[in-house]
Structure 1
């Protein structure tokens, strides 16, 4: 069976192969209590369904460039994650929300042929979470997908559906010209004359939001888009907390501006 395209792979994924009973009939999937694959990730994609809970822990911004997507910021500099250490264990005593994008790894639904809309369940073979293990959940019962695999497929399908709703949300923001280049300055206690400035992301332009017509705001309030926008805006204050955690870890920016990656 043909492999999925390896170019332009999503964040976290180093390779993709389609899951099938001929090659992977004796494979199992391990469950782990830590996620080393996000230890050095400072920005993780989010779906709109996750905004209400994610905004309690992370600043929610939008990636720069075309086809902007929502991101949960876990650090303000590339390679820095203040919520999970390099081994993927939680820092501190409180477990933050874990985005569905992270929980889905190493699986995802991918299009194997460019001329079809059919999606196949694939996995990252470079991960040590899937393989010929004595432990873990079997992926096949004979030639049929196991209940565990069916559950994985259902989770990935729901993620794709959430992704489509997220795209619709982003289209509304773009069509109404509500996204602007973001910039947030954070005063540093030890050097208040040289604030840390975070750029390289997009955010909702509050001035243009206030200028929207009342019927548009009512529509967004009724269909749930307006609360999502406010969740994003309120979450931006958490950047100061993330900055403080970086400083405590000895990973402060030392006057350098940080940039959010496109995803």
Structure 2
């Protein structure tokens, strides 16, 4: 999955063109997320991500059949371009980092109808032909590093598709609805976040026995529960923002 906000110059990895390409693994690959206030997470990540971030669902257009799509995101900040988890030295201030970010600068992308390729972000400074760990050996064969990368992004692509189908089913069951988060900061300043979907508690409580059984069997009930748990992190996110503002003021 190529995310334009993250992968600025996506390039399909080519055995011949990039035979000498290396990766400077000593550099932080997370700096690319400096301007991201939210980022996609797969359904498989909810159990870990819900302990650190609010998980919201954003509208993602409609599919070929006209069904409304949603994409779950972990929220890093409450204003545009605000990432409260990335430190100035490139460290991430949380135990869990979303998988797509961990894979960066690599990703998987469809280049033909039924053909996918490993891609990398040509804009990342950690790609080099003179320094770092090689992606191909002297014979042009993938190194263990590249094999590991390929395996990771291939599995990630599978999880992305599963997540798309999960969101589609939640929307079909009308379990997600537009929501708004409101809070008042200690200085009296109002804070609101909208434009997202979250679980519809009334609809959830009105599920039939058959629907509840279905959600338990396909894992979607656990997904909704993790999402509900994560919403408690909105308050913690505001506290993190206030702490960051206080630190800036103290150093001014």
TM-score by shorter chain over 0.5: yes
Matched residue SS, 1:12: coil
The 1:33/1:213 distance shift into structure 2, 3 A limit, reads: farther
Q: Structure 1: which 5+ runs fail to align?
A: 1-7, 252-263
Q: Does 1:37 align with 2:37?
A: no
Contact 1:39–1:87 (8 Å) recurs in 2: no
Q: Which runs of 4+ in 1 moved over 4 A?
A: none
1:122 is paired with a residue whose SS is: strand
Q: CA deviation at 1:33?
A: 6.0
Q: How far, CA to CA, are the matches of 2:123 and 2:150 in structure 1?
A: 20
Describe the SS at the equivalent of 2:57. strand
Contact 1:64 1:181 in 2 (8 A): no
Q: In structure 2, what is the equivalent of residue 4 of structure 1?
A: none
Root mean square deviation, CA, Å: 1.8
Q: SS of the residue aligned with 1:24?
A: coil
**More strand per residue: 1 or 2?**
2
What's 2:80 paired with? Answer: 78
Once the two structures are overlaid, the 10-residue window that deviates more, 20-29 or 52-61, is 20-29
Aligned residues: 236
Q: In the alignment, which residue of structure 2 is the partner of 1:180?
A: 177
> Normalising by structure 2, what TM-score?
0.88
Aligned residue for 2:22?
Answer: 28
Q: Distance in 2 between matches of 1:82 and 1:172?
A: 32
3-state SS in 1 of match to 2:151: helix
Structure 2 residue 205 is the aligned partner of structure 1 residue 206: no
- Alignment of 1:140 onto 2:136: yes
Q: Give the match for residue 254 of structure 1.
A: none
Report SS of the residue matched to 1:249: helix
Gaps of 5+ in 2: 62-68, 247-252
Q: CA deviation at 1:189?
A: 2.4
TM-score calculated relative to the size of structure 1? 0.84
Deviates more, 1:31-40 or 1:16-25: 31-40
